[in-house]
């Protein structure tokens, strides 16, 4: 069942991807460019953004830090000068392994500022324009780490859980106004964020595979886009367990 307008033909559509200098964001931006979209890419790493723009003629690079609301607002104003937007994708992310036995408040706040507050800055900059135009699509990249608490994810997991809740609430508020909303929950994807993981990552996929899954989800009008399904469906089943059973299974799997 399609919960959103189906986005399959990207020719001439204007899209803005925030957090697109590497990984899932960059691969998705490249895929959209290849399908004829007018692509705007943003991130902190301006060198990588400029390299993307050079490799994808016609795309526009706008450097910003999502933790800086003024920078996000300025970039949004620049993008909107050229016309209405058909897609806004928030895929900025920050990850460091953290456990409660090594609690680090500064590290936790950094995760919040990038992963969650950064999304709020983007919404603050873009929602008025989307509401005025009465169409468009908002998509937030969360994670299966947001389904339930996981070891080593004290700082990261709660921000992704917040994004999932945020997307659900946005959908309830915006669907009747003609604006699509989706949340993307990847499993393990080979990106700079996951490169530091000291443990085997089951069902690991490439950013290009992730981008193809995302585009399939948008084309089908899905609200939640999760992949690879052989892994994410297992995580969904785990999340349904009572907490006592859930934590026992997680401890057995992770050895923690």
Q: Where are the domains of the chain?
A: 14-254
Q: Is 156 a catalytic residue?
A: yes
Neighbouring-strand partners of residue 42: 18, 62
Neighbouring-strand partners of residue 75: none
Q: Which two tokens stand for residue 189?
A: 């994807």
Q: Which pLDDT belongs to residue 256?
A: 73
Q: Annotated catalytic residue: which of 94, 147, 156, 171?
A: 156
> pTM here?
0.93
Q: Domain 14-254 in CATH: superfamily?
A: NAD(P)-binding Rossmann-like Domain (3.40.50.720)
| pLDDT block averages, 10 residues each, the chain of length 256 | 94 97 94 98 95 96 97 97 96 94 97 98 98 97 94 95 98 97 89 64 82 97 95 92 93 81
**What element of type H or E holds 40?**
strand 38-43
Q: Which pLDDT belongs to residue 189?
A: 77
Taking a C-beta distance cutoff of 8 angstroms, is the pair 207, 27 a contact? yes
Q: Which pLDDT belongs to residue 188?
A: 75
Q: Measure Cα distances from 73 to 4, 25, 85, 146, 220 in Å.
A: 26, 20, 15, 27, 31
Cα radius of gyration (the chain)? 18
Q: Which two tokens stand for residue 67?
A: 């933790």
Q: Which pLDDT belongs to residue 9?
A: 97
Q: Which pLDDT belongs to residue 194?
A: 65
Q: Which pLDDT belongs to residue 199?
A: 60
Q: Which pLDDT belongs to residue 203?
A: 66
Place of tokens 């992770």: 254
Neighbouring-strand partners of residue 247: none
Q: Where are the alpha helices (DSSP H) in 112-228?
A: 118-133, 156-174, 207-220
Taking a C-beta distance cutoff of 8 angstroms, is the pair 112, 67 a contact? no
């Amino acid at each position: 069942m399609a919960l959103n307008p189906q986005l399959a033909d990207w020719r001439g559509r204007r899209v803005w991807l925030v957090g697109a200098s590497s990984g899932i964001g960059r691969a998705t931006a490249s895929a959209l460019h290849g399908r004829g979209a007018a692509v705007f890419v943003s991130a902190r790493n301006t060198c990588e953004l400029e390299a993307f723009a050079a490799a994808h003629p016609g795309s526009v690079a706008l450097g910003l830090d999502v933790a800086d609301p003024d920078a996000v607002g300025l970039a949004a104003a620049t993008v909107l000068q050229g016309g209405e937007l058909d897609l806004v994708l928030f895929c900025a992310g920050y990850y460091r392994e953290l456990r409660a036995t090594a609690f680090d408040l500064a590290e936790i706040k950094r995760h919040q500022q990038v992963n969650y507050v950064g999304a709020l800055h983007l919404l603050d900059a873009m929602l008025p324009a989307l509401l005025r135009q009465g169409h468009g699509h908002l998509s937030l990249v969360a994670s299966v780490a947001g389904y339930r608490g996981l070891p080593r994810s004290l700082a990261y997991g709660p921000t992704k859980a917040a994004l999932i809740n945020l997307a659900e609430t946005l959908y309830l508020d915006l669907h009747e106004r003609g604006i699509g909303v989706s949340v993307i929950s990847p499993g393990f994807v080979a990106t700079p964020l996951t490169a530091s993981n000291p443990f085997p990552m089951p069902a690991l996929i490439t950013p290009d595979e992730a981008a193809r899954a995302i585009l399939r989800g948008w084309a089908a009008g899905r609200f939640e886009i999760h992949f690879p399904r052989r892994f994410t469906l297992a995580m969904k089943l785990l999340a349904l367990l009572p907490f006592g059973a859930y934590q026992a299974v997680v401890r057995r799997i992770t050895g923690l």
